[in-house]
Amino acid sequence: MNDSKKVIPLLEVRNVSKYFGSVIALRDISMQVNGGEVTCVLGDNGAGKSTLIKILSGVHPHDDGELLVEGHSVHFGGPRDARAAGISVVFQDLATVPLMSIWRNFFLGSEPTLGIGPARRLDIGFAKKVMREEMGKMGIDVRDPNQPVGTLSGGERQAVAIARAVYFGAKVLILDEPTSALGVRQSGIVLKYVVQARERGLGVIFITHNPHHAFPVGDRFVLLNRGRLMGSFAKSETTLAELTQMMAGGEELERLSKELEKMATEPELEQVARELAQEAGGKPG
């Protein structure tokens, strides 16, 4: 996993480990994020995805290894440091406040103001204008800036959070399971925004446990399992089937398919068992 390109990556993780007491949450993780690329971090529950995000976004400090932003080694003291370095996280459900209007959500925590002293106030006109423009860039026409975010669809809510992160200078955008709570259509919409962010030159880290969502938009794939790096591939080096198989752990899928086969009295279940066996890598059982 040495540098294959001469370009300095926007964000680089080098042999990073993280311990919580005696628990090894992450061991020896390395990955690179380049501008204009989507790096997918795949892993099942408990693989260490959340820990990795928290290190990248400054919530937890890393214990071993190195974190490099545009080639410079950094130690984040908190989320503000990470944001200042251009790393923004869009959390799945923590993205927005439903009862607040779109423009208030957009600028929440970084409000534009006019005037000084006691006359200092929100620049509401500016906020609404910018919000409209930025949402427009994502292909969403906001009719009423005062509309509460809660009345938007799940995909649009993610779009607000993404547009906000991009506007506030995010160079690296971390999307934490953006599709996990969404239906098929809404997931598709979010994937569209992921591609849009990439087109605008951002380095996108797309965290998911769904390879079917990751594969179509990803340029690189980083697989985690039980806190370890299982593999790191460019898109040309792998296939959707391979990713799926590695993610679930080939052996486990094989075992599952065997068990299902034993229980299978119905043809449908047999079919599922066969598919599992296939996904487990086509190795002779």
Phi, psi at 144, each rounded to 5°: -125, 105
* Nearest approach, Cβ of residue 124 and other proteins (Å): 8
In this chain, which stretch among 15-23, 107-115, 206-214, 228-236 interacts with other proteins, using CB under 8 A?
107-115
Site string for other proteins, 74-93 (x = CB under 8 A): -----xx--x-----x-x--
**Least distance (Å) between residue 134 CB and other proteins:** 15
Judge whether 74 and 67 are in contact, CB under 8 Å. Answer: yes
By CB under 8 A, is residue 125 in contact with other proteins? Answer: no
Q: Which of 99, 195, 240, 263 binds other proteins (CB under 8 A)?
A: 99
> How near is the Cβ of 61 to other proteins at its closest, in Å?
19
**Among 16-24, 36-44, 138-146, 224-232, which window interacts with other proteins (CB under 8 A)?**
138-146
- As a three-state string, the secondary structure of 195-214 is HHHHHCCCEEEEEECCHHHH
User: By CB under 8 A, is residue 144 in contact with other proteins?
Assistant: yes
Q: Can you tell me the distance from the alpha carbon of 196 to that of 202, in angstroms, rounded to the nearest whole number?
A: 9
Tokens 């927005």 appear where?
Answer: 96
User: Which residues have C-beta within 8 Å of that of residue 105, sequence separation ≥ 6?
Assistant: 96, 97, 149, 160, 164
| Residue 24 engages other proteins in binding (rule: CB under 8 A) | no
Supply 41's token pair. Answer: 């971090």
Q: Do 96 and 178 touch, CB atoms closer than 8 A?
A: no
- Pick the binder of other proteins from 46, 61, 77, 150 (CB under 8 A): 150
Taking residue 125's Cβ as centre, other Cβ atoms within 10 Å add up to 11
**Chain residues in the site for other proteins (CB under 8 A):** 79-80, 83, 89, 91, 94-100, 104, 107-111, 113, 120-122, 124, 141, 143-144, 146-148, 150-154, 164
